[in-house]
Amino acid sequence: MAVSIKEFIEGLPKAELHLHIEGSFEPELMFEIAQRNKKEIRFNSVEEVKEAYNFSNLQDFLDIYYEGMNVLTTEQDYYDLTWAYISKVYLENVIHTEIMFDPQGHTDRGIPFDTVINGIDRALKDAQTKLGMTTVLIMSFLRHLDEESAFKTLEDGLKHRDKIMAIGLDSSELGNPPSKFERVYKTAKEAGFKLVAHAGEEGPAEYVWEALNLLDIDRLDHGNRCLEDEKLVAELAKLKMGLTVCPLSNLKLCVVDDLKKHPLRTMLEKGLKPSINSDDPAYFGGHMNNNYLATAEALDLTKKELATIAKISFETSFLSDFQKEENIKLIDDYLATNS
């Protein structure tokens, strides 16, 4: 008997390439950690927290996102946060994940960089040894802060070079173009980091050009607004640039007003390489399978198209060519036996 689209998605091997670990912080764990650290939060219940998750743009969300992470203090907190995410997506057949963290969201509150990264890294190592997952860690700079702060963070990251594969750029996009971090990215590239950056989520196509030409990115986070510029689309297609698309995030942050109008299908038709990701699952209504399913239903995606998107998630990952091929073979086998 043919499996349903939902079952097909649940069993589909996939990679997550756009996930802010602080955005996976569920209110239940937030209360637990607040209590053990004797920290106040302004909400009285999990329900109250969830009611506050109504956003009309990126900044609305960021304000509450930075507030939420304020309770994280000890290495164990960062381990628990990361392990909670890993345990969740492991059950969704996410076999590879590339997660971002925002060091400045912690170091600016006086939490040592080492505390943050050691907790996250320990959970990622456990994901590898206990669950057989592969993982990558991406250190993101907060673009609303200045270049000096990014350089300081890069210096901290260099002391943990073995734990970090790539650097990224997130937070408030409008008014903080990629050009602001051109020199930081140049230094990071020289140090051998892979480079990603959020661009074209709220910002114009011009910001995506800057991410390509000035930052020399290896992968683009979001990128929705590239579709406003034909030449840019052609360039991204030529480069086989991965676009880490986040459908439920786009809906929650009003980047699209209806998932039926989501640009993912158009991106595929234009020869781009979009993957499906959750961004900040605790805030936007779900992890990977919810994102796949909501998008499949809204855009009428077939099993074959969903398998293509999952293949793109490996193809545009930072895995080795051998690992990419192995994972893509898994998807071909899966499609052959489950269509």
Active-site residue list? 201
Does position 280 interact with ligand HPA (CB under 6 A)? The reply is yes
Does position 198 interact with ligand HPA (CB under 6 A)? The reply is yes
Quick one: which of 2, 17, 76 has its CA closest to 314? Answer: 17
Residues 207, 216 contacting (CB under 8 angstroms)? no
Please say which residue, 115 or 275, places its beta carbon nearer to Zn ion.
275
58 binds, among Zn ion, ligand HPA, none (CB under 5 to 8 A by kind): ligand HPA
262 binds, among ligand HPA, Zn ion, none (CB under 5 to 8 A by kind): none
* Dist CA 216 CA 210 (whole Å): 8
104 binds, among ligand HPA, Zn ion, none (CB under 5 to 8 A by kind): none
* Dist CA 207 CA 213 (whole Å): 10
Query: Which of residues 9, 15, 16, 20 is near ligand HPA by CB under 6 A?
Result: 20
Nearest residue (beta carbon) to ligand HPA: 170
* Dist CA 334 CA 1 (whole Å): 15
70 CB-near residues (< 8 Å, 6+ apart): 39, 109
How many residues form the binding site for ligand HPA (CB under 6 A)? 11
Q: Which of residues 245-304 bind Zn ion (CB under 5 A)?
A: 279
295 binds, among ligand HPA, Zn ion, none (CB under 5 to 8 A by kind): none
57 CB-near residues (< 8 Å, 6+ apart): 202, 253, 254
Work out the number of other CB atoms within 10 angstroms of the CB of residue 305: 16
Nearest residue (beta carbon) to Zn ion: 279
23 binds, among ligand HPA, Zn ion, none (CB under 5 to 8 A by kind): ligand HPA
Question: 241, exposed or middle or buried, with CB in 10 Å at 0-12, 13-18, 19+?
Answer: buried
* Torsion from C-alpha of 265, 165, 62, 259, nearest 10 degrees: 10
Please say which residue, 50 or 144, places its beta carbon nearer to ligand HPA.
144
Please say which residue, 16 or 26, places its beta carbon nearer to Zn ion.
16
Q: Whole-number minimum distance, CB 72 to ligand HPA, in Å? A: 15
Question: Which alpha helices (DSSP H) does the chain contain, by range?
Answer: 5-11, 27-36, 46-51, 58-69, 75-90, 104-107, 113-131, 147-158, 182-190, 205-213, 230-238, 247-252, 264-269, 281-284, 288-299, 303-315, 321-338
171 binds, among ligand HPA, Zn ion, none (CB under 5 to 8 A by kind): ligand HPA
Q: Which of residues 199-218 bind ligand HPA (CB under 6 A)?
A: 201
Q: Whole-number minimum distance, CB 102 to ligand HPA, in Å? A: 7
Q: Whole-number minimum distance, CB 191 to ligand HPA, in Å? A: 23
Q: Whole-number minimum distance, CB 169 to ligand HPA, in Å? A: 9
Does position 170 interact with ligand HPA (CB under 6 A)? The reply is yes
Query: Which of residues 249, 291, 295, 317 is near ligand HPA by CB under 6 A?
Result: 249
* Dist CA 330 CA 302 (whole Å): 18
Residues 246, 18 contacting (CB under 8 angstroms)? yes
Does position 77 interact with ligand HPA (CB under 6 A)? The reply is no
5 CB-near residues (< 8 Å, 6+ apart): 293, 296, 297, 303, 306
Query: Which of residues 23, 103, 105, 157 is near ligand HPA by CB under 6 A?
Result: 23
Question: Which residues of the shown chain bind Zn ion in the complex (CB under 5 A)?
Answer: 279
What residue ranges bind ligand HPA (CB under 6 A)? 20, 23, 58, 65, 170-171, 198, 201, 249, 279-280
